[in-house]
Amino acid sequence: MFRPLGLGLAVTLGASLGVAVTQASADTAAKSGAATAVAAQRVKVYELLTKDGGYYYTASESEKYNAITKHGWTVTQTPLYYLSPTPFDGGKPLYRLRWLKKASYIVTASVIEREKLMSSGNFRYEGVLGYAPGSTEAGGDVKVFRLSNNGRWRLAVEAHKNSILVNEPGWELNGPLFFQFRQAG
């Protein structure tokens, strides 16, 4: 089952063959225009703490509002930045899944991991959280890591990841997961 959390059409880059110098200029202009279009659509990512002690991630203001007002979840001070709500050249989807044993969520950029988690029967796929730069070349400014601790998963930028690992016993580093945009654009 695929249910996107954001709406929109893919931003595509295209170029026709031509003289190398002319083509390079056209490519640069096309990429600049596409980057501007994606930059204008960036959305803030929020981390919320669930009543079960799990972490929930959203880039939707309405999801955040409902989580706070309907479920009593709280927004954390974890420094997270921006994603695109729509696909873009060099971007990759981030998949959000809910652990069925309690309100705890995991985010992955891997289709293989997503499918493995769903087929375990312990997770429900909730859709695409957003689209992240796959590299610094795709516009990624901030590397984001995933950590885990006994049925809880967190996302953290490098400095915060280091603080969690030093100051909060039990957390393990799963590794780098994706990049984010530092600014809204």
Residues 33-62: tens digit of each pLDDT? 454 455 458 999 999 999 999 999 999 999
Question: Among 133, 151, 61, 53, which residue's Cα sits nearest to residue 97?
Answer: 151
Would you say residue 90 has pLDDT above 80?
yes
Q: Tally Cβ neighbours within 10 Å of residue 140.
A: 20
Question: Among 118, 143, 152, 158, which residue's Cα sits nearest to residue 1?
Answer: 118
Q: Are the beta carbons of 49 and 105 closer than 8 angstroms?
A: no
In a domain, 185, yes or no: no
Q: What's the domain count of the chain?
A: 1
Which pLDDT band, with edges at 50, 70 and 90, does 135 fall under? Answer: very high
109-to-66, 79, 138 alpha-carbon distances in Å: 25, 19, 15
In a domain, 3, yes or no: no
In a domain, 163, yes or no: yes
In a domain, 17, yes or no: no
Q: Are the beta carbons of 160 and 78 closer than 8 angstroms?
A: yes
Q: In angstroms, rounded to a whole number, what is the distance separating the alpha carbons of residues 74 and 55?
A: 10
Q: In angstroms, rounded to a whole number, what is the distance separating the alpha carbons of residues 7 and 153?
A: 26
In a domain, 12, yes or no: no
Q: Which domain holds residue 134?
A: 43-180
In a domain, 8, yes or no: no
In a domain, 149, yes or no: yes
pLDDT at 40: 52
Q: What is the mean pLDDT of the chain?
A: 83
Which pLDDT band, with edges at 50, 70 and 90, does 29 fall under? Answer: very low
In a domain, 172, yes or no: yes
Structure tokens at 157: 């930028």
Would you say residue 106 has pLDDT above 90?
yes
